[in-house]
Amino acid sequence: MESININQSIAKNAQFIEEIGIESGQPVQKCYQCGKCTAGCPVAFAMDYTPNQVIRMVQLGMKEELLKSETIWICASCSTCSTRCPCEVEIAHVMETLRIMAGRSGTAPAGKAKYVEVMYDALLGTVEKYGRTYEVGLVLNNNLKSGKLFNGADMGLPMFQKGKLQLMPSKVQGAAEIARIFAEVRKMEGGVK
């Protein structure tokens, strides 16, 4: 974890808390740092900032640090935090919003976060092309892009043997409709590569 100049950060991003509040729909200002979200978070052990730290950093306007963090990508979206927060902050929504903001701002995820983004892109790539997820395509594409070529390779063979990896993608007839959805979203919102 890098050291952070809090004063400078607050001055620079005073409106950040409002921005997150609006986009995520969550009352982030209400958090009083009880730590319950972090106590129940199954991924906290692998995060660079814990969930309660993330919420505090939002309150402090530490946008850059958050958009660069691995936490927002490796969050498993399990909503344990959201279900337990006494202030009704859906932390999982805040994580999701930060992830989408990071994408929009062009902040390149690093370390463990990179593999998550590569997987998202590979998955959405197959959906845009075929309308459905194509698991072989996903595994190969993902491994190629992340450079972890043999990630899960010793698993791939048993998958084939059990007849669990299709060799051909199944394509929806309305593939043009799916392409339209992606195109419209790009036009309105951006964020999808």
Partner 1 sequence: MRYAYFPGCSYHGTGKEYEASTHAVAKKLGMELVTIPDWSCCGATAAHGKSHLLNVALPARNLAIAEGMGIGEVTTGCAACYQQLANANKRMTENQEIRDKVNKVTGKEYKGTLKVKSLVEAIGSIDPEQIKAQVVKPLSGLKVAAYYGCLLVRPPEITGFDDPENPMFMDNMMKLAGAEALDWAHKTECCGASLGVSNLGIAVKMINKILKAAVEKGADCMVVACPFCHLNLDWHQKSVNKQLGTTYDMPVFYFTELLGLAMGVSPDELGLKTHFTDTQKVLSLVG
80 binds ligand SF4 (CB under 6 A): yes
44 binds partner 1 (CB under 8 A): no
Min separation Cβ 89 and partner 1, Å:
12
User: Exactly one of 85, 116, 138, 139 binds ligand SF4 (CB under 6 A); which one?
Assistant: 85
42 binds partner 1 (CB under 8 A): yes
34 binds ligand SF4 (CB under 6 A): yes
Nearest to 57 by CA among 40, 45, 71: 71
User: Exactly one of 57, 58, 67, 75 binds ligand SF4 (CB under 6 A); which one?
Assistant: 75
Q: Using an 8 Å Cβ cutoff, are 73 and 96 in contact?
A: no
Interface of this chain with ligand SF4, residues 101 to 140, rule: CB under 6 A = none
Nearest to 89 by CA among 61, 62, 54: 54
Percent of the chain that is helix, strand, coil (3-state, to 5): 60, 0, 40
Q: How wide is the angle at C-alpha 72 spanned by C-alphas 41 and 131, nearest 5°?
A: 105
Provide the total of helices (H) and of strands (E) in the chain, helices listed first: 12, 0
DSSP at 8? H
Min separation Cβ 36 and ligand SF4, Å:
4
Q: Using an 8 Å Cβ cutoff, are 24 and 97 in contact?
A: yes
36 binds, among ligand SF4, partner 1, none (CB under 5 to 8 A by kind): ligand SF4
Alpha-carbon Rg of the chain, whole angstroms? 19
Min separation Cβ 160 and ligand SF4, Å:
32
Rounded Cα–Cα distance for residues 40 and 127 (Å):
33
Residues lying near partner 1 in the complex (CB under 8 A): 23, 42-43, 45-46, 73-74, 76-80, 82-83, 90, 92, 96-97, 99-100, 103, 112, 115-120, 123-124, 127, 131-133, 135, 138-139, 142, 146, 151-152, 155, 158-159, 162-166, 170, 172-174, 177-178, 180-182, 184-185, 188-189, 191-193
